């Protein structure tokens, strides 16, 4: 059996981006005269992209704004975030060793995220990780977002892989739904940004540290 293609979500799976995303959200809200969103609340808003984070942050305050205002705030968010993308964002513990082991086993590695592709590349380059991945695909790469399974299929293809020999790694219901719809086994991390325990979404495996990832991939690949 060929070594599988391993496709990772980005925010909350590979990288702990919450500090910079939440800082950016609250900078934008301050400019709009909106109160800051508490860290623990905002952490669970991450996962659907910056636009959704803004909308959910406003809704968390019991407010709403017209779509045109959301788009203006989104543009402001992206501009600020691009300049502060790796101020405090860091890989989760054990990630580098796990990537080294998977590469040594012949696995192709890829990223499939609802983050914009440009920002995904910028972040991974800032953390000296971009070169580890055969493909880095965002919401605008194909004009498709998770949970549409086509973004996962196209990411696997872009990495030179085959969906029949692939595994998805994510932290949310969105990732699990995407993988399920694509017919790809899915491993969930329990240290990400899910607003409920990922065990409730029944992934094939759950890991609490990246040191557990190679064995979990082997288990679901065999299954």
Catalytic residues: 9
Query: Nearest 5°: phi and psi at 105?
Result: -85, -5
Q: How far apart are CA 30 and CA 57, in angstroms?
A: 12
Paired tokens of 195: 């607003």
The three-state secondary structure class of 113 is coil
Tokens matching residue 121 = 């590349």
| Neighbouring C-beta atoms of residue 119, cutoff 10 Å | 21
Cα 193 to Cα 2, 39, 89, distances in angstroms? 32, 12, 14
| Whole-angstrom distance, CA of residue 77 vs CA of residue 29 | 9
CB atoms within 10 A of CB 83: 10
Q: How far apart are CA 123 and CA 33, in angstroms?
A: 28
The dihedral formed by the CA atoms of 52, 45, 8 and 87, expressed in degrees to the nearest 10:
100
């Amino acid at each position: 059996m060929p070594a599988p293609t391993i496709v990772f979500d980005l925010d909350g799976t590979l990288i702990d981006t919450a500090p910079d995303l939440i800082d950016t959200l609250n900078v934008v809200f301050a400019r709009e005269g909106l109160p800051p969103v508490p860290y623990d609340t905002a952490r669970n808003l991450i996962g659907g992209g910056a636009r959704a984070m803004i909308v959910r942050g406003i809704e968390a305050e019991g407010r709403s704004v017209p779509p045109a205002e959301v788009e203006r705030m989104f543009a402001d968010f992206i501009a600020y975030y691009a300049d502060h993308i790796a101020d405090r964002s860091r890989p989760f513990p054990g990630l580098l060793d796990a990537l080294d082991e998977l590469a040594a086993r012949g696995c192709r590695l890829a990223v499939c995220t609802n983050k914009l592709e440009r920002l995904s590349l910028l972040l991974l380059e800032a953390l000296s990780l971009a070169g580890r991945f055969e493909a880095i695909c965002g919401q605008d790469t194909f004009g498709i977002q998770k949970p549409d399974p086509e973004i996962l299929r196209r990411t696997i293809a872009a990495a030179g892989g085959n969906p029949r020999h692939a595994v998805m790694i994510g932290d949310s219901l969105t990732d699990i739904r995407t993988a399920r719809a694509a017919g790809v086994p899915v491993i969930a991390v329990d240290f990400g940004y899910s607003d409920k325990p990922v065990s409730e979404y029944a992934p094939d495996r759950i890991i609490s540290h990246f040191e557990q990832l190679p064995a979990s991939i082997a288990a679901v690949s065999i299954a």
